[in-house]
Amino acid sequence: MEETARRLRIKFSVPSDPRYLGVVRGAIGSLAAVIGWDESECRAIVLAVDEALTNVIRHAYHCRKDGLMELECRETADGLEIALLDNGDAPDRSKICARELDCEQAGGLGTHIIKSVMDRVSYEESPEGNRFVASKYLRKST
Partner 1 sequence: MKISVRDVGAAKVVEVDGDVDLGTSPDLRRTLFDALPTVRTLALNLGAIRYIDSSGIATLIEVLKHAQQLGNAFVLFGLSPAVLEVFRLTHVIRVFPVFGTEQEALGTS
* Contacting positions for partner 1 (CB under 8 A): 17-19, 21-22, 25, 40, 43-44, 46-47, 50-51, 54, 57-58, 101-102, 104-107, 109-110, 112-113, 116-117
Burial class (CB in 10 A: 0-12, 13-18, 19+), 13: exposed
Burial class (CB in 10 A: 0-12, 13-18, 19+), 1: exposed
Question: Least distance to partner 1 from the beta carbon of 75, Å?
Answer: 23
Q: How far apart are CA 79 and CA 40, in angstroms?
A: 16
Nearer to partner 1, 45 or 85 (CB): 45
Nearer to partner 1, 4 or 40 (CB): 40
Nearer to partner 1, 57 or 84 (CB): 57
Question: Least distance to partner 1 from the beta carbon of 28, Å?
Answer: 12
Question: Least distance to partner 1 from the beta carbon of 68, Å?
Answer: 17
